[in-house]
Amino acid sequence: MLEKLNLERWYRVLVYLGAIFFGGAVFFSDAVNKGPITDVALMLLGAGMFFFGMGEWINHPPRGEKGGPSFFGPGAVRVPHLGGLLLDVVGAALFIAGLGWRWLARLF
């Protein structure tokens, strides 16, 4: 089953982990709220990982074997795109908000 997920690149792993964290926080919110982290913080962390991973996925377009040599193999050359960079910024902001959720909740 894991072979079908295509986890060759780190940003793909981040997308899947973000979706798992977000889904876990949504569907198991009662169990999550009894622990040291709240469901909102876990949702923010998961959404941040998901959006950052999607942004990096956009910024790493597939090149194939003819894309040129790279330290990380074919297709790993980063080509920044506006959409990918925006998703990176949104993802990083959500992830940081998730890390500091208890502190942010006290401010508002």
The rounded radius of gyration (Å) of the Cα atoms in the chain is: 16
**Residues of the chain with pLDDT > 70: what percent?**
78
Instruction: Count CA atoms closer than 13 A to 63's CA, side-chain side.
Output: 16
Domain-by-domain residue ranges, the chain? 11-107
What whole-number distance in Å separates Cα of residue 90 and Cα of residue 18? 14
**12-27 pLDDT, tens digit each:** 899 999 999 999 888 8
Which three-class secondary structure state does DSSP give residue 31? helix
Model confidence, pTM: 0.80
Q: How confident is the model at residue 1 (pLDDT cuts 50, 70, 90)?
A: low
Dump pLDDT digits (tens) for 36-73.
778 888 999 999 999 999 999 999 887 665 555 555 55
